[in-house]
Amino acid sequence: MSGMKLAVWNVLLSEAEKLCREDKNLVVYNDAKQVFFENFDYYENLIFDNFMQRDDPLDRHKIAAIIVCAILRANLVGITAKAEDKHGAYKDENAFLANEKLALSTALSHMLSQLELEFENGDIPYKEMISEYILPRPISCSRSFDEVLCRDFYYAKKHFKLNPLTLANIFFMIEAYTFEVCKIDMDVAKLESQLDRARKNTIIKQP
């Protein structure tokens, strides 16, 4: 997975550098690459060691979750000392969410590219493909759902522990929601065939 990890990093770095060109108050930290790689490996091993067998491939939702966790630990983008002196520290209600937004956009972009490949290979049980992910619209606040998610990432990093399995479930729900909103029908026969193969593989791998 090292090639994929490097490809994700290159996309992430490009987007971070673009942010810094647009906002001179932002800076990219030079040591973030090593921290990203170390944490990517840490969360990947965490999932395999506790929840999966090594010969089972990680699905796109889990990989997207690992990407988010690794980016949030790396803190690729920060605020220049000059800007922080001028504006003061960010408070929770006005949180600095640059890394969280980078994490979400990078994860969704990678997940969509993997979905497209799997659809081309006939591994996705939908009759058509989506062109982008659609997020639900919150009805209890004025924030967009992507901002709600990014603020959740921020609070999880600050007050709790990042849970890659919970994040993977969120990404699965975003994908399922998108197919439903786009009114794309499920290929039931293909779904049952895939589930049958998954059940057989589970039985074979049980001790």
What are the φ and ψ backbone dihedral angles of 78, each rounded to 5 degrees? Answer: -135, -175
Neighbours of 11 (CB within 10 A): 17
Q: Domain range spanning residue 110?
A: 2-205
pLDDT tens, residue order, the chain (207 aa) = 678 899 999 999 999 998 888 888 888 888 899 999 999 999 999 998 888 877 778 999 999 999 999 999 998 988 876 655 555 555 444 457 889 999 999 999 999 999 999 999 988 889 999 999 999 998 888 889 999 999 999 999 888 888 999 999 999 999 999 999 999 988 888 878 777 776 666 554 544
Give me the number of domains the chain comprises.
1
pLDDT of residue 92: 46
**Is the four-CA dihedral 207, 46, 36, 104 of positive or negative sign?**
positive
Contacts of 141 (CB under 8 A, 6+ apart): 148
Please give the model's pTM, rounded to 2 decimal places.
0.87
Burial of 105 (0-12, 13-18, 19+ CB in 10 A): middle
